[in-house]
Amino acid sequence: MTNHRDAVAAGRELLIEIYRTMRTIREFEDRVHTEFAGEDIPGAVHLYAGQEAIAAGVCSVLSDDDYIASTHRGHGHAVAKGCDVTGMMLELYGKSGGLCGGKGGSMHIADFDRGMLGANGVAAGGVPLAAGAALSAKVRGTDQVAVAFLGDGGANQGAFAESLVLAVVWQLPVVFVVEDNGFAQATGTSFHLAGKQIALRGEAVGIPSRVVDGYDVFAVRQAAAEAVERARSGGGPTLLECKADRFYGHMEGWDQQAYRLESEIDELRSSHDCVKLFADRVLADESLTAEELSAVDAAVRARIDAAVEEARNAKEPDISELLTDVYASY
């Protein structure tokens, strides 16, 4: 684990915020997993549990008006960027009042007021959008920064490779955060990355690039802080390759994870749970108390309970919504 003096120095409030973010994501995902199994939630849902430290660490150094573009596995990014969890839950249920009015669903959750430019159903499809948001900030002369999240599998997409080039040539204030969770669906990174780190691809085009322990929220936060500072000060793009495996399968209801050994998952959950690792550490060095953590736990649980309750009882969108938000010529 990294030295986390900076985080501790930032004080209890920040630590609690980071914990709240990670706990909220975990609780949200665990609960969606249960509700999905109960067949209450329609559609395709990809859970982020296990990777919380990445979203939480990166977004902890962003302001409200910075931008992120996310992936099909986007709940964690949305929560970390400050999206309302009730609005998110309503969206997952396809209900009126959802963040996208029920039109988007899990794979298209977005909240432009929070700088969350959207989950994305296409691998690496959102990466160029983040580059564009960075261009926008640069042309408008603000100091906003954009972050593109993508997966190890998405890192093989041409759109990502091209975005690296564009970002370095245009010196855009963008940070590429590749989350290597070991798999693209059922295909392992040891196959599809041919044993190489994605960070090398950033370096190859001249982008400062680092591999980061994605279970360690402090490590992520530190790396992200440097990257964001570089971007804000006109230093151009950075690539962070954060490694942390997912707890659940690729997609709810889709796979039984037969492509993973059970021992792999057990070991992951017992020794690489980023939320536990955080808790152990702040308790060990007494920067937070067990009571503080429990208070967060309880509050988060209540918030998610309420979100599910509201989502279940919410109205379906009105049929007239079918033809709004688009130019329909007939």
Partner 1 sequence: MARVLSYLDAIGEALTQEMRRDPAVVVFGEDNIGGTGTNGKLGNAWGPTKGLHQEFPDQIFDAPITEAAFVGAAVGAAATGLRPVADLLFVDFAGVCFDQILNQAAKLRYMVGGKASVPLVLRAMWGTGMRRGAQHSQALYPIFAHIPGLKVVVPASPADAKGLMITAIRDQDPVIFFEHKMLYFSHGVVPEEPYEIPFGKARIVREGGDCTIVAIGRMVAEAETAAEQLAADGVSCEIIDPRTVSPLDEETIYASVRRTGHLVVVDESNPRCSAASDIGSLVAQNVFDALRGPVRMVTSPHAPTPFSPALEDAYAPSAARISEAVQAVLRRAVAA
Ligand X SMILES: Cc1ncc(C[n+]2csc(CCOP(=O)(O)OP(=O)(O)O)c2C)c(N)n1
Q: Does 284 bind partner 1 (CB under 8 A)?
A: no
CA atoms within 13 A on the CB side of 279: 18
- Is residue 227 within 8 A of residue 199, CB to CB? The reply is no
Rounded to a whole number of angstroms, the minimum distance from the CB of residue 284 to partner 1 is 32
Question: Which residue's CB is nearer to partner 1, number 212 or number 311?
Answer: 311
Question: Which residue's CB is nearer to ligand X, number 93 or number 183?
Answer: 183
Nearest CA among 3, 73, 70, 39 for reference residue 247? 73
Sheet holding 238-243, edge to edge: 67-69, 146-151, 174-180, 238-243, 209-213
Q: Does 258 bind partner 1 (CB under 8 A)?
A: yes
Rounded to a whole number of angstroms, the minimum distance from the CB of residue 200 to its own copies is 4
Residues from 127 through 166 that contact Mg ion (CB under 5 A) = 151-153
Question: Which residue's CB is nearer to its own copies, number 38 or number 195?
Answer: 195
**Residue type present at position 183:** F
Question: Which residue's CB is nearer to Mg ion, number 4 or number 243?
Answer: 243
Question: Which one among 21, 70, 106, 181 touches Mg ion, defined by CB under 5 A?
Answer: 181
Q: Does 122 bind its own copies (CB under 8 A)?
A: no
Q: Does 287 bind ligand X (CB under 6 A)?
A: no
- How many chain residues touch partner 1 (CB under 8 A)? 88
Question: Which residue's CB is nearer to ligand X, number 4 or number 250?
Answer: 250
Which of Mg ion, its own copies, partner 1, none interacts with 181 (beta carbon under 5 to 8 A by kind)?
Mg ion
Locate 159 and state its tokens.
Answer: 């759109």
Strand pairing category for 187-188 and 183-184 = antiparallel
Q: Does 173 bind partner 1 (CB under 8 A)?
A: no
Question: Which one among 23, 73, 95, 303 touches partner 1, defined by CB under 8 A?
Answer: 95
Question: Which one among 156, 185, 257, 287 touches its own copies, defined by CB under 8 A?
Answer: 156
Rg (CA), the chain: 19
Question: Which one among 153, 173, 202, 236 touches partner 1, defined by CB under 8 A?
Answer: 153
Which of partner 1, its own copies, ligand X, none interacts with 230 (beta carbon under 5 to 8 A by kind)?
none
Question: Which residue's CB is nearer to partner 1, number 18 or number 145?
Answer: 145
Residues from 203 through 222 that contact its own copies (CB under 8 A) = 203-206
Which of Mg ion, partner 1, ligand X, none interacts with 50 (beta carbon under 5 to 8 A by kind)?
none
Residues lying near ligand X in the complex (CB under 6 A): 46, 72-73, 121-123, 151-154, 157, 181, 183-185, 250
Residues lying near its own copies in the complex (CB under 8 A): 156-162, 165, 168-169, 191-196, 200-201, 203-206
